[in-house]
């Protein structure tokens, strides 16, 4: 079937206004927040589950790749149409379908923005706990696909812990319900299986989320250290000491200076590293824990301890943290963020290794990360106009992730595998492990119509082109 | 870098240094009014910057598609507030629009209208005065009533736009040019007043209130005669050279020694004038001087809040919501000053959910992009309605016109007012005395030489 016929059918399904197929429009969907690029042939903005189902049928029938996209804030190329095809954008499916405050549930369409849901349910004293740094823009559909986490993952868990039900469109157009409002459903936990499949298994069109009660008291502390080592050791001691902060974040000196320029949040300009520590719970317990945290930090040579005196100061500190990556954009025109996870006790060692990599590859690397759960985010700064720097950047990324795995960690905590780290999956999984995952993939998506060439290592012959592509190459 | 070469041609084009700061994280998307309405990447700040990049890389033409998406931008610069990388989106947009004007052929009628408005009407006081007089004749002779009642406007598709036109004043502000207004009581400072172009023909009362409130607070106000339109509308529309002309004239007009500040009451004007340094950066003669003058420009709310208000006689007993003008909140980062003034008046300030979301006015946007502008206004009015405010306060004339249209369309029983108008009322003397003082005030002539 020629291209124009597919365009025609898509227009018939979603409406003429909801389909883009001109080159000038399509190039706007070839990027996300990461480095990978790939141009679609069609972009469609569906409004109903029925439309999504019919589009899936069409894609399957025509064997055209189908790639869902939320706000395009992903970092691993999850929404990039690597093999071309149709990109489904959910910016017209943004309704909150139901709020059940008594049972702490909400049902939302996939295009609802993460922070918008929390804002709407705030009047019930509730919020949606997963808090990726992109939460002011990223969609809940995207959070489900990537199983997103955030600073408060330490206490609240990742997205999968907050999803109880899904409506999913399968590649053949079938619509299935997984789970529901109940906390536990019988039979296979398909909801749990689905979350984090990065659009390779089905397309979610409605999501039942768990809402969390806002804590009675919250205390936010900033511990300032002369050296990264001291800060890293304090992290291990805090958690080893049985204190459970809801968030425990580290920012190194280089990052701090950029963040402070961007937000004027009051971060020190001359320290080695800081820890941003948040405690939540009943008032008495929080005060007690804050004292314990202070004692641990001081034992690890903390130069100074500050506490947010009010909600405004707290928000400012968090704004600094949540915009930290982009603030590094002040130092270089591009960055590449890694997302490896290591056991907490290895943080200091891994940070030292990252510094060696930076020197060896002659690159600047900033570190802002979820220290509490050992989720490292080395941010490699580079200039994409220099092909050699691009090459060194990718090399540095690979070295760091390999080291994380060697330390007993993994290659991604929350950003997803996508088309960015799929070739690294064998570092972590044996052929048999990957084969079982592939069974699941094939059971749902046998023709690889949905989001092809993601998550799994591609056959060797495809790899060369994949390395050459990306914004690094084209910009 | 690119074999195809850039499709930009001018010396003042968007440069790599400007647009490469964008690391396409997407944090700006939800802050963009057009993205919230249209849900299209092409109509988001990130998408627009990407299109600029592609034009510079030679991959995208300056054609209908590019122009459509650039035209749709309100220039509200909410994305700059959201951007952690410090992208100067406003600068990229202005330069891209200047490129459009020199490389793209708009339809004949549109081109003529734009040229006429941006280089004739706004260029000189005479042009503006003539245009305003015609509009006044139309509005006050009964012609408007006939046109509206006959359905002719609807037929021509002009009905919505016509309703947004400012109500032209019976008396213009022009006679005040060249005048000096003395401070009341102890003199706390001397300032210059930039009166604004549209404000001079449609917001005379606001301008008078501004002078009066400054006087009441101990500031002597001098209104330089040779001043021109600030150039903001021109710069935003891509008429960069015309904007530069305006800037140069104003720099000369405001070259007054011993003045503490240059005051404006329209956020759009103060934002533009604070950026004269950038606008004239390639002009060695004016670049430095531009920065000097720019450093003295203050929005009137910012200036008064910093100086501290003299206690007004009356309190404002009303439920007030405040709409942040984009060019005050996003371009100048002034958010608390107008709120402090309202609180000092004793107003009960009720915040709407997103006070710093654009109302859709954006200079000439509500005329050129009427449909989109009205959708944005709808969202704004939903939030306004929820506050149940009796007064919608703001600090920019464009926002006032747009919000008034919104209030009228909803049939709300709310008044739209500039913060300064509310202040002026709080300082008002008893009616009879006020009338007398007012007229004395206006008759007072002064020499051009500022008293030292």
Based on the domain organization, do B231 and B325 belong to the same domain?
Answer: no
CA distance linking residue A281 with residue A86, whole number of Å: 46
Where do we find the tokens 């996508």?
A418
CA neighbor of A143 nearest in space, from A113, A169, A105, A170:
A113
Going by pLDDT thresholds of 50, 70 and 90, the confidence category of residue B152 is: confident
CA neighbor of B159 nearest in space, from B167, B149, B170, B168:
B149
Question: Of the residues B50, B74, B103, which one is the last residue of a structural domain?
Answer: B103
Q: Which residues of chain A neighbour B27 with C-beta distances below 8 Å?
A: 73, 134, 136-137, 323, 326
Based on the domain organization, do B301 and B219 belong to the same domain?
Answer: yes
Averaged pLDDT, A361-381: 93
- Residue B196, pLDDT above cutoff 70: yes
Based on the domain organization, do B49 and B130 belong to the same domain?
Answer: no
- Asked if B39 is an interface residue toward chain A (Cβ–Cβ < 8 A), one would say yes
A17–chain B nearest CA distance, Å: 11
Which chain B residue has the Cα nearest residue A322? Answer: B84
Burial tier of B220 (Cβ tally within 10 Å: 0-12, 13-18, 19+): buried
Going by pLDDT thresholds of 50, 70 and 90, the confidence category of residue B447 is: very low
Q: Is residue B23 part of a domain?
A: yes
User: Using CB atoms, which residue from B47, B59, B353 is nearest to A28?
Assistant: B47
| Model pLDDT, residue A460 | 56
- Asked if B34 is an interface residue toward chain A (Cβ–Cβ < 8 A), one would say no
Q: How many of the other CB atoms lie within 10 Å of CB of B155? A: 9
Averaged pLDDT, B213-233: 96
A143 near A108, Cβ under 8 Å? Answer: no
- Residue B61, pLDDT above cutoff 60: yes
The CATH fold of domain A96-213: 3.30.465
CA neighbor of A297 nearest in space, from A368, A373, A348, A221:
A221
Based on the domain organization, do B186 and B301 belong to the same domain?
Answer: yes
Based on the domain organization, do B328 and B375 belong to the same domain?
Answer: yes
Averaged pLDDT, A292-309: 94
Q: Is A113 within 8 Å of B82 when comparing Cβ atoms?
A: no
Based on the domain organization, do B185 and B275 belong to the same domain?
Answer: yes
pLDDT, tens only, B1-11: 445 689 999 88
CA distance linking residue B356 with residue A214, whole number of Å: 26
Q: How many of the other CB atoms lie within 10 Å of CB of B78? A: 24
The CATH fold of domain A217-327: Alpha-Beta Plaits (3.30.70)
Based on the domain organization, do B322 and B358 belong to the same domain?
Answer: yes
Based on the domain organization, do B286 and B378 belong to the same domain?
Answer: no
Interface probe with A: pick from B16, B23, B29, most Cβ of A within 10 Å? B23
Give the whole-number percent of chain A exceeding pLDDT 70: 96
Going by pLDDT thresholds of 50, 70 and 90, the confidence category of residue B431 is: low
Which chain A residue has the Cα nearest residue B80? Answer: A262
β-strands A66-69, A378-382 pairing:
unpaired
Could you tell me which residues come within 8 angstroms of residue B381 by beta carbon, excluding any fewer than 6 positions away?
A: B406, B407, B409, B410, B412
The interface predicted TM-score of the complex, written ipTM, equals: 0.92
Based on the domain organization, do B182 and B286 belong to the same domain?
Answer: yes
Q: Which residues of chain A neighbour B65 with C-beta distances below 8 Å?
A: 22, 24-25
B127 or B49, greater pLDDT? B49
CA neighbor of B260 nearest in space, from B291, B225, B290, B221:
B221
Q: Is residue B6 part of a domain?
A: no
Based on the domain organization, do B297 and B363 belong to the same domain?
Answer: no
Could you please report the per-residue DSSP string of B1-70? Answer: --TT--S--STT---HHHHTT-----TTGGG-HHHHHH--GGGSHHHHHHHHHHHHTTSS-SSHHHHHHH
Q: Is B25 within 8 Å of A136 when comparing Cβ atoms?
A: no
| Model pLDDT, residue A266 | 84
Domains identified in chain B, total number: 4
Which chain B residue has the Cα nearest residue A323? Answer: B84
Query: What domain range includes position B155?
Result: 119-164
CA neighbor of B389 nearest in space, from B415, B422, B368:
B415
Q: Which residues of chain A neighbour B25 with C-beta distances below 8 Å?
A: 33, 73, 134, 325-326, 329
Based on the domain organization, do B362 and B419 belong to the same domain?
Answer: yes
Q: Is B85 within 8 Å of A326 when comparing Cβ atoms?
A: yes
Q: How many of the other CB atoms lie within 10 Å of CB of A205? A: 24
Could you tell me which residues come within 8 angstroms of residue A322 by beta carbon, excluding any fewer than 6 positions away?
A: A133, A135, A151
| Model pLDDT, residue A462 | 47
pLDDT, tens only, B12-39: 899 999 999 999 999 999 999 999 999 9
Based on the domain organization, do B386 and B439 belong to the same domain?
Answer: no
CATH number at residue B322: 3.40.50
For chain A, the domains span: 96-213, 217-327
Averaged pLDDT, B424-452: 54
Q: Is B50 within 8 Å of A27 when comparing Cβ atoms?
A: yes
CA-CA distances (angstroms) from residue A76 to A176, A412, A457? 27, 10, 14
Could you tell me which residues come within 8 angstroms of residue A359 by beta carbon, excluding any fewer than 6 positions away?
A: none
Q: Is residue B1 part of a domain?
A: no
Which chain A residue has the Cα nearest residue B57? Answer: A475
Three-state DSSP at B49 gives helix
Q: Which residues of chain A neighbour B29 with C-beta distances below 8 Å?
A: 71-73, 137
Averaged pLDDT, B373-377: 94
B33 near B45, Cβ under 8 Å? Answer: no
- Residue B413, pLDDT above cutoff 70: yes
- Asked if B137 is an interface residue toward chain A (Cβ–Cβ < 8 A), one would say no
| Model pLDDT, residue B3 | 53
Q: What is the mean pLDDT of chain A?
A: 92
pLDDT, tens only, A120-150: 999 999 999 999 999 999 999 999 999 999 9
Q: What is the mean pLDDT of chain B?
A: 90
A198–chain B nearest CA distance, Å: 19
Question: Of the residues B73, B103, B133, which one is the last residue of a structural domain?
Answer: B103
B60–chain A nearest CA distance, Å: 7
Averaged pLDDT, A249-266: 87
């Amino acid at each position: 079937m020629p291209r124009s016929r597919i365009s025609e059918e898509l227009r018939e399904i979603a409406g003429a206004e909801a389909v883009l197929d001109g080159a000038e429009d399509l190039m706007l969907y070839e990027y996300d927040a990461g480095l990978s690029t790939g141009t679609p042939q069609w972009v469609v903005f569906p409004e109903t589950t029925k439309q999504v189902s019919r589009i899936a049928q069409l894609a399957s029938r025509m064997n055209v790749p189908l790639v869902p996209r939320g706000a395009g804030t992903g970092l691993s190329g999850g929404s990039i149409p690597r093999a071309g095809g149709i990109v489904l954008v959910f910016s017209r499916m943004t309704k909150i379908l139901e709020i059940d405050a008594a049972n702490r549930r909400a049902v939302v369409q996939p295009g609802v923005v993460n922070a918008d849901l929390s804002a709407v349910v705030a009047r019930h004293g509730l919020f949606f706990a997963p808090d990726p740094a992109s939460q002011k823009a990223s969609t809940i559909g995207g959070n489900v696909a990537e199983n997103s986490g955030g600073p408060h993952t330490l206490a609240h868990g990742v997205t999968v812990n907050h999803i109880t039900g899904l409506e999913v469109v399968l590649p053949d157009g079938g619509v299935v319900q997984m789970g529901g409002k109940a906390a536990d459903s019988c039979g296979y936990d398909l909801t749990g299986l689905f979350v984090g499949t990065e659009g390779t298994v089905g397309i979610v069109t409605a999501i039942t989320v768990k809402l969390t009660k806002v804590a009675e008291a919250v205390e936010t502390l900033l511990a300032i250290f002369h050296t990264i080592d001291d800060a890293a050791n304090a992290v291990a001691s805090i958690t080893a000491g049985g204190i459970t902060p809801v968030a425990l974040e580290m920012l190194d000196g280089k990052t701090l200076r950029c963040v402070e320029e961007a937000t004027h949040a009051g971060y020190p300009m001359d320290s080695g590293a800081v820890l941003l520590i948040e405690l939540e719970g009943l008032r008495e317990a929080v005060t007690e824990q804050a004292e314990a945290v202070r004692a641990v930090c001081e034992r690890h040579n903390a130069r100074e301890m500050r506490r947010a005196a009010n909600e405004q100061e707290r928000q400012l500190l968090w704004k600094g943290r949540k915009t930290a990556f982009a603030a590094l954009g002040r130092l270089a025109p591009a960055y590449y963020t890694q997302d490896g996870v290591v056991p907490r006790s290895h943080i200091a060692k891994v940070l030292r290794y990252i510094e060696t990599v930076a020197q060896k590859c002659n690159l600047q690397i900033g570190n802002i990360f979820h220290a509490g759960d050992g989720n490292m985010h080395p941010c490699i700064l580079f200039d994409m106009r220099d092909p050699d720097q691009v090459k060194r950047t990718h090399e540095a990324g690979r070295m760091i992730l390999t080291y994380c795995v060697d330390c007993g960690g993994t290659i991604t905590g929350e950003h997803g595998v996508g088309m960015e780290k799929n070739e690294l999956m064998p570092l972590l999984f044996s052929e048999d492990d990957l084969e079982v995952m592939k069974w699941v993939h094939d059971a749902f998506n046998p023709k690889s119509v949905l989001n092809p060439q993601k998550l799994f290592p591609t056959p060797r012959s495809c790899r060369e082109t994949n390395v050459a592509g990306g914004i690094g190459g084209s910009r | 870098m690119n074999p195809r070469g850039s499709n930009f041609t001018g010396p003042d084009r968007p440069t790599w240094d400007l647009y490469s700061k964008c690391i396409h994280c997407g944090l700006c998307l939800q802050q963009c009014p057009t993205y919230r309405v249209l849900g299209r990447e092409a109509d988001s700040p990130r998408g627009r910057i990407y299109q600029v990049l592609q034009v510079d890389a030679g991959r995208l033409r300056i054609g209908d598609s590019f122009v459509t998406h650039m035209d749709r931008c309100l220039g509200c610069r909410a994305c700059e507030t959201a951007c952690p990388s410090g992208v100067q989106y406003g600068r990229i947009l202005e330069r891209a629009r200047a490129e459009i004007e020199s490389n793209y052929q708009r339809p004949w009628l549109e081109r003529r209208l734009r040229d006429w408005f941006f280089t004739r009407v706004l260029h000189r006081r005479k042009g503006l005065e003539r245009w305003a007089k015609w509009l006044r004749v139309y509005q006050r002779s009964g012609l408007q009533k006939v046109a509206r009642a006959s359905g002719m406007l609807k037929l021509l598709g002009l009905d919505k736009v016509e309703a947004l036109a400012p109500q032209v004043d019976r008396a213009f502000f022009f006679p005040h040019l060249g005048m000096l207004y003395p401070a009341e009581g102890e003199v706390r400072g001397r300032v210059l007043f930039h009166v604004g172009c549209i404000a001079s023909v449609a917001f005379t009362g606001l301008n008078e209130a501004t002078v009066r409130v400054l006087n009441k607070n101990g500031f002597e106000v001098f209104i330089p005669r040779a001043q021109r339109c600030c150039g903001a509308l021109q710069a935003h529309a891509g008429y960069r050279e015309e904007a530069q002309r305006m800037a140069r004239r104003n720099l000369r007009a405001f070259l007054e020694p011993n003045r503490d500040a240059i005051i404006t009451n329209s956020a759009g004007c103060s934002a533009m004038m604070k950026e004269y340094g950038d606008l004239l950066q390639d002009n060695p003669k004016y670049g430095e001087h531009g920065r000097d003058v720019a450093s003295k420009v203050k929005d009137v709310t910012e200036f008064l809040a910093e100086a501290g208000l003299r206690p007004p006689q009356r309190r404002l007993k009303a439920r007030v919501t405040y709409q942040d003008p984009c060019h005050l909140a996003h371009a100048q980062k002034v958010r608390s000053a107008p709120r402090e003034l309202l609180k000092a008046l004793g107003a009960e300030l009720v915040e709407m959910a997103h006070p710093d979301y654009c109302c859709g006015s954006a200079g000439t946007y509500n005329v050129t992009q009427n449909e989109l502008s009205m959708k944005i206004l709808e969202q704004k009015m939903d939030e306004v309605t929820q506050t149940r405010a009796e007064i919608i306060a703001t600090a920019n004339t464009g926002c006032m016109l747009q919000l008034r249209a919104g209030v009228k369309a909803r049939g709300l029983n709310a008044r739209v007012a500039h913060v300064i108008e509310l202040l002026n009322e709080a300082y008002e003397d008893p009616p009879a005395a006020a009338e007398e003082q007012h007229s004395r005030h206006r008759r007072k002539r002064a020499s051009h030489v500022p008293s030292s």
